[in-house]
A and B are shown apart, each in its own frame.
Chain A
């Protein structure tokens, strides 16, 4: 049993959109060392997105390449969770967004590595190694900032409050998620959630941060409903291909 193009696009767009966001830090990070660190992670994510987009294009069978899918889809066709497209904000906000998603991708890829879809399993097995480092980097910073000065602690706690409601979407199972889980392509999201909770709770304790209360949420990037931020990001990301269609290096 193999994945549907829509499911693969969800995975691809999460990496693509987050990678593009991190790329915005290049030249602006608080230290040249962080500039390199964030850029490396961004490139890992874009590399994952390329493999996934190429695969989605193949199983879709309409001749769309990874570039077509990245640069010629409209906002409503992007299937990333809304959390990934949130603006970078300050460094603390970037780190909170990153660690929440790194922990999610870590749990997801570990399980997708055993997918019944061999191609997806291979991509996940490659990506999980990168993601373990992403999580090491972002969790290290979360602890440093959370258990840091009153100022850094207040900033990351407030970022946590801001982004926490958007994590609901990561684990809200819909028909596509259920179908993929039943086919053995993807793990069940409640299982991913339990592992993510364990990971995040331990980390928040170490960072001396408070886990925000869960709130109901009904806004789903993974079904194409996005925040106002994605359009601006895509305008920049897709500008070149829109103005010069087919332009190559």
Chain B
């Protein structure tokens, strides 16, 4: 067994209920994926927060570079026509 400090970090995603998407809720240390699911269950769903769990090794996530934020995200600011706000949403649609 590796020292606990060497257990890899996992990111945890919880689906609150059927039909919703998994949301990132935090991270934890675990020696393997199965243990990560167990820990996620014990740490993040003990108050009925979810019905489904995803865990992923933090090192498997590729993040955008904050230094590039200007070029990646700024150009979208003045493209208001890309927003779907020009449609009427039927009353029956609840979770859009």
Contact = CB atoms under 8 A, between A and B. Distances in A.
B31 A144 contact: yes
B28 interface: yes
B7 A140 contact: no
A149 B1 contact: yes
B1 A40 contact: no
Contacts, number: 35
Contacts of B28: 33
B39 interface: yes
Interface size class of A (residues with CB under 8 A): 10 to 19
A133 B40 CA distance: 13
Given A148-B1, A152-B1, A136 B7 contact: no
A37 interface: yes
A136 B32 contact: no
B29 interface: yes
A89 interface: no
A175 to B, nearest CB: 40
A179 B35 CA distance: 42
B39 A33 contact: yes
Interface in B8-46: 28-32, 34-35, 38-39, 41-43, 46
B34 A140 contact: yes
Contacts of B38: 37, 136-137, 140
Given A31-B29, A33-B29, A137-B38, 19 more contacts: A30-B4, A31-B4, A31-B7, A33-B28, A33-B39, A36-B39, A36-B46, A37-B38, A37-B39, A37-B42, A40-B46, A133-B41, A136-B38, A140-B35, A144-B35, A145-B1, A148-B1, A149-B1, A151-B1
